[in-house]
């Protein structure tokens, strides 16, 4: 249930050497591991340029598992898990958006809609797991119903990232994974709806 794969934190914040080594060990074939290996070889390389290069070089291998209409779709990221009901300040600051607020951002959007996101817990997460999982499931259902969207559940952060990058439009959720998606899409000159300032 607890994952060491914190891709947004890795690229935008920087993990310490021990956390990087844990990620390399747990997810050796991931975008994150490739990023760490390349960054260690060339520490001065720009973080966003590097992760964008890694994603664009590898995205084709995941196309067959993405929705067939992904390039005509809107993808919405929602952060689930610890942020739903966790007690620490960093969890409380990343509470997800109210579904009706997300809907208000998409008033004129007629694209098919997909929601990405799964329950995530790191070592630093609060341990009220059952409460967080239950409330995450309720929040996900409410979001899908409100947006008339489908849940794209790959159970793989790299595939979810590719889904968000290939979409016609992306709606930012909470946390650094979502912020990373926005940064990569900016680098690729494709639009995103940013929600950082929304309560």
Whether pLDDT at 199 is above 80: no
Q: Are residues 49 and 142 in the same domain?
A: no
CA–CA distances in Å: residue 188 to residues 60, 135, 145: 16, 35, 31
Q: What is the pLDDT of residue 168?
A: 97
Q: Are residues 60 and 80 in the same domain?
A: no
The whole domain housing 19 covers: 7-64
Calpha distance 38→53 (Å, rounded): 11
* Domain end marker among 41, 64, 87: 64
Each residue of 61-80: pLDDT tens digit? Answer: 999 999 999 999 999 999 99
Q: Are residues 58 and 77 in the same domain?
A: no
Domain total in the chain: 2
Q: Are residues 111 and 42 in the same domain?
A: no
Q: Are residues 162 and 110 in the same domain?
A: yes
Q: What is the pLDDT of residue 102?
A: 95
Q: Are residues 18 and 33 in the same domain?
A: yes
Whether pLDDT at 24 is above 70: yes
Establish if 198 belongs to a structural domain.
no
Q: What are the structure tokens assigned to 174, written together?
A: 């909470």
pLDDT class of 197 with cuts at 50, 70, 90? low
């Amino acid at each position: 249930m607890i994952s060491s794969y914190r891709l947004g934190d890795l690229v935008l914040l920087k993990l310490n050497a021990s956390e990087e080594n844990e990620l390399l060990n747990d997810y050796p074939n991931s975008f994150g591991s490739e990023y760490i290996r390349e960054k260690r070889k060339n520490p001065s390389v720009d973080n966003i340029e590097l992760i964008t290069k890694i994603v664009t070089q590898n995205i084709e291998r995941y196309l067959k598992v993405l929705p067939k209409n992904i390039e005509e779709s809107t993808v919405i990221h929602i952060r689930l898990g610890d942020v739903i009901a966790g007690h620490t300040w960093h969890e409380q600051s990343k509470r997800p958006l109210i579904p009706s607020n997300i809907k208000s951002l998409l008033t004129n959007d007629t694209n098919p809609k997909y929601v990405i996101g799964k329950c995530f817990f790191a070592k630093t997460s609060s341990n009220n797991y059952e409460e967080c999982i239950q409330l995450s499931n309720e929040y996900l259902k409410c979001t899908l119903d409100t947006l008339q969207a489908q849940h794209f559940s790959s159970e793989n952060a790299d595939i979810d990232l590719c889904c968000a990058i290939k979409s016609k439009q992306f709606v930012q959720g909470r946390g650094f994974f979502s912020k990373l998606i926005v940064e990569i899409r900016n680098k690729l000159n494709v639009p995103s709806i940013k929600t950082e300032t929304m309560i």
